[in-house]
Amino acid sequence: MKPMVVCRRLFAVAMLLLPLAGTSVAQQQETQQQRAQSQPYNNAPTWRDVRSGKEEYTSIKGRETGVLVQTYGETWRQLKNSWITPIAGWLIAAVVLVIGAFYKWRGSIKVHGAPTGRLIERFTPFERYTHGVVAISFVILGVSGLIMMVGKYVLLPVIGYTLFAWLAQLSKHSHNFVGPVFIVSLLMFIVMFLKDNLPRLYDIKWFVKLGGMISGEHVPSGRFNAGEKVWFWSGVVVLSLLVSASGLVLLFPNFDQVRAVMIEANVVHMVSAGAVLAMSLGHMYLGTIGLDGAYEAMRTGYVDETWAKEHHEYWYNDVKSGKIKAGTAIGQPAAPQAQH
C-alpha cells in the first residue's frame, strides 16, 4: 500500500476516533470549519490529540485499543538506539580490551607449589551439570541477544541483508526457547551455591589485596573468594534475575500486558543483560585461561591439594579437618608449574 494512501486512511480513522471531550458534534464541525478557513492544511491540533495517548472510543474493546498512536514507543526507540545499544556495545568491547591487556601483562596465574597427586572433590557431578546448563544457555542467550541488539551496526555492513536476516531470525528463536531453560537452571544454581557465597570477614582482606592477582601474593579464602561472591550476588542473583523476570514479560505478551509495560521490560532487559554480559567476561576469563587449573576443576570436579591450598586455603583446611565433607582421589601428579 502506498504511503499516501496509508496516511489518508490513518487520518480518516483519527478523525473518527478523536472527538473532543465535552463538545457536541456540531461544535466540533464548526471548529474544524473555522480552522480550515483560517489555517488551511493545519492538522496539528488533530495529530496532537492523536499522539496524546488518551483513550478514545473504538468499536473493538480491549486494553489500549482506543489509543491510536503510542508515543511512548518513540521514546523507547530513541532511548534504545541512542543510549542503551551503543553504551552496552562499547562497554562489552572495553571489557574485552582490558582483559586482553591484563592477560598480555600477567598471563595465566600459575600454581607455585608442585602438585601432590592427592585430589579433593571441589564440585559434585550435579553441581557441574547445573553449572554447565547455566553456562551454555547463558552463552547462547548472550550471543543471540548481542546479534539482535548490535548486529545491524556490526554484522549487517559486513555480511549483508540476506545472511543477517537469517541470522537474526535464528537468534530470535533460539533466544526465546533457550530462555526458560536458563531461568530454571539459574534458580537451581542460586539455591545450590547460596550458602558458600555468604560474605565473611576475611573477604575484606581479599578485596584490599585484589586476591593477589596483581602482586602475586597468597591471599586465603573460603570455597569461593570475594571476587566470585561479588559475581554471584551482583551478576547471578541480581542482574540475571532481572534479565529473567523482564524476559518472561517479553516472552509471554499473551498475558495482556500494556505496551508501556512491554517497553519498560525491554529497557530493563537490555540494561541488565548488557551489564551482566560485561561482568561475565571476567568470570569466563578467570575460569578458563586466566587461572591455571580452574577449568579442570569444573570439568572433572577435582583439584590437587596444592591448588586448593593456594587458592582457597580456608576451604582446604575445613576439608582436611573434616568440617566439610568432600570426596578425595589419587591422581597422577602433573609436572611442576613454573612460577609466572
Query: Which of 206, 199, 279 has its CA nearest to residue 236?
Result: 279
Confidence (pLDDT) at 171: 97
pLDDT surpassing 50 at residue 216: yes
pLDDT-based confidence at residue 9 (cuts at 50, 70, 90): low
Which range marks the domain in which residue 325 is found?
A: 72-122+194-330
Asked whether residue 83 is domain-assigned, the answer is yes
CA distance readout (Å), 116 to 52, 80, 168, 196, 332: 73, 54, 50, 26, 8
Instruction: Give mean pLDDT, residues 241-261.
Output: 92
Domain-embedded: residue 187? no
Confidence (pLDDT) at 28: 61
pLDDT at 150: 94
The angle, 0 to 180 degrees and rounded to 10, between the axes of the packed helices 125-154 and 85-106 is 120
Looking at per-residue pLDDT, the higher value among 20 and 257 belongs to 257
Residue 141 lies in a domain: no
Higher-confidence position of 132 and 19: 132
Q: 35 Cβ partners below 8 Å, 6+ apart?
A: 42, 45
Residue that finishes a domain, picked among 69, 88, 109: 69
Average model confidence (pLDDT) across the chain: 85
Q: pLDDT tens for residues 227-237?
A: 999 999 999 99
Confidence of residue 256 (pLDDT cuts 50, 70, 90): confident
Q: Domain check: are 324 and 258 in the same one? A: yes
Written as one letter, the residue type at 51 is R
| pLDDT number for residue 164 | 95
CA–CA dist 334, 340 (Å, integer): 17
The reply to whether 160 falls in a domain is no
Mean pLDDT score, 280-286 = 94
Between 169 and 39, whose confidence is greater?
A: 169
DSSP string, 32-76: HHHHHHHSTT--HHHHHHHTT------SS-STTTT-S--THHHHH
Tell me the average pLDDT across 82-87. Answer: 94
Say what the pLDDT of residue 340 is.
41
Q: pLDDT for 312-339, tens place per residue?
A: 999 999 999 888 887 777 775 554 444 4
**Encoded amino acid at 242, one letter:** L
In a domain, 246, yes or no: yes
Q: Tell me what percent of the residues of the chain surpass a pLDDT of 90.
A: 62
59 and 84 share a domain?
no
* pLDDT tens digits along 287-317: 999 999 999 999 999 999 999 999 999 999 9
Q: What is the mean predicted confidence (pLDDT) over 124-151?
A: 96
Task: State the Cα–Cα distance between residues 49 and 14, nearest whole angstrom.
Answer: 9
Q: How far apart are CA 265 and CA 247, in angstroms?
A: 7
Residue 2 sits in the same domain as residue 108: no
What is the C-alpha separation between 336 and 131, in angstroms, rounded? 29
Cα–Cα distance for residue pair 182/243, rounded to 1 Å: 10
Q: How many structural domains are present in the chain?
A: 2
The letter for the amino acid at 122 is R
Q: To which H or E segment does residue 288 belong?
A: none
pTM over 0.95: no
